[in-house]
Chain A
């Protein structure tokens, strides 16, 4: 599993885990993120069952198990959180932050020890070590109960499936041209995102943030000026196209 430090300021770090070379064929590549601050860490969208062992092994290179006090699942999909039953054995004292809407569904992945902390529709702010993290509503993008994570101190927005692209293995980590990258994201956003109203609401919300890195769950990450480029591109993109065919 490739680990990349995205941000580091004292004991405040963002690490991205992705591009697992041992990942079985046919499984979508996913970006997992670890945020550390003080003695605490949170794992964002820890991934599917197939990725559990390489993820745990990678994470333990940076932080001891007792330091991972929180997990976050942006929504209920298997590539996001189907490893929950295994994390439940590895981190029995951890808390899982996830949309209230999906609690009774996510529990199907197996959760006997971890505590479910339901995020209300309007979002919430939590403290991790010495920083604050905000769970920003992103409902219907693509899941009907969906959140993104905003770290104002680092200026990083974990944007879940928004900004995601399905690319060939070995693709670069950063978007270098929206002109070239746009076509790689187009079908994904048009097919997975069902609502233009939800899209505009999200754009309005995140446009107010000073985003230094936008980090989606699949594909490349965005830095300025490509963050603003992406927002403009997304704004004009019609979504929910399957019903039009």
Chain B
């Protein structure tokens, strides 16, 4: 049985929070790389240029993770509201089946609740699709990070005495990118459980 949307969205939010923490680590790596490049002087001119890209990349990942995290939290809250309405509708349907004398008096509220549930489900479907798109977009940053890591290795090769330290930094970039990708993959898998266009299980 698929997990309820509010749990999926909350879990996606948690994954993106972890991705954001990893990206902060990447920003720290960029600062270390810059300090090292300054000390290494002319031998690491190429590497110094790359550190700007790493900083920009870390900032972009942090910013996008924050947006997705916020979006997922909002979706989770909406899904809880939908779940409450769904629950209320189940109770109302039971009451309808009993046909109490004054049933007609409650029907406007039941209809209102039903419409509200439809609207919430519609909003949730749109929200989930947006979330999937945003996560797909985040993979671009991972590809960029891997390119930067490769370039860093190339630059490190010409850095003489600083080669080893710069290679450690290049490895850090790749490992961090891998960890962020793992969080994105998990978020994607969670969203695929519910997926993509079908009726939402509130």
Seen from chain A, the residues whose Cβ lies within 8 Å of a Cβ on chain B are: 52-53, 56-67, 85-86, 89-92, 110
Check if B157 is an interface residue, CB within 8 A of chain A. no
Q: List 28 A-B contacts (CB under 8 A).
A: A53-B95, A56-B95, A57-B95, A57-B98, A57-B100, A58-B100, A59-B100, A60-B95, A60-B100, A60-B101, A60-B102, A60-B103, A60-B106, A61-B102, A64-B102, A64-B104, A64-B106, A65-B109, A66-B105, A67-B105, A85-B88, A86-B87, A86-B88, A89-B85, A89-B109, A90-B92, A91-B109, A92-B109
Seen from chain B, the residues whose Cβ lies within 8 Å of a Cβ on chain A are: 84-85, 87-88, 91-92, 94-95, 98, 100-106, 109, 113
> A60 CA to B102 CA in the complex, in Å?
5
> A85 CA to B113 CA in the complex, in Å?
12
Residues in B whose Cβ lies below 8 Å from that of A90: 88, 92, 106, 109
- Contacting pair B109 A52 (CB below 8 A): no
> A56 CA to B100 CA in the complex, in Å?
9
- Contacting pair B100 A61 (CB below 8 A): yes
Residues in A whose Cβ lies below 8 Å from that of B104: 64
Residues in A whose Cβ lies below 8 Å from that of B94: 53, 57
Residues in A whose Cβ lies below 8 Å from that of B103: 60
- Contacting pair B88 A89 (CB below 8 A): yes
Q: From residue A76, how far is it (CB to closest CB) to chain B in Å?
A: 19
> A113 CA to B176 CA in the complex, in Å?
48
> A13 CA to B103 CA in the complex, in Å?
20
